[in-house]
Amino acid sequence: MDKIVRFRLNAGEKYGLGHFSRCFALAQLLKNKLPIIFYIHTENNALIYKLNTENFPIIFIDDENTFFNDIKSSDVVIIDGYDFNEFYLSKVKSLCTKLIVFDDFEASIKNADAIINQQFSE
């Protein structure tokens, strides 16, 4: 099976742009190593344009089942957003090989293989 990196995020006026910025930067680092697909809920056309300029495939999320049905057991899933609770993460983890979560609240996420906390403290 071919491994795909699937980014799941919400971004824009309601959600902020940090989720997009982090995922986009990571995707740029990975794009020459693995295929990438963005699953996104956004109303911001500038973000869509930016993804298009890098030729990242985009799937717009209206129904989470679209995302769940696409995940393969060999995939790496990267999630960034405030709307993804432990139940959601557990379901995603059961479908993929690796789950990586961006989290800035230092929450006790149990189902992720890795947590990236972008907060810096000294």
Per run of 10 residues, the mean pLDDT along the chain (length 122 residues) is 90 84 95 96 90 94 93 96 89 96 73 79 51
74 contacts 86 by C-beta, under 8 angstroms = no
Does residue 11 fall inside a structural domain? yes
Residue 111, pLDDT score: 82
Residue 30 lies in a domain: yes
- Token output for 49: 């344009």
- Domain that residue 15 falls in: 7-72+96-116
- Considering the domain boundaries, does residue 43 fall inside one? yes
The reported pLDDT for the residue numbered 106 is 58
Residue 122 lies in a domain: no
Q: What residues have CB less than 8 Å from 120, skipping those under 6 apart?
A: none
Burial 85-97 (b: 16+ CB within 10 A, else e): eeebbeebbebbe
Single pTM value for the model: 0.91
Tally of domains in the chain? 1
Q: Give a yes or no: residue 85 inside a domain.
A: no
- List beta partners, residue 55: none
pLDDT at 62: 85
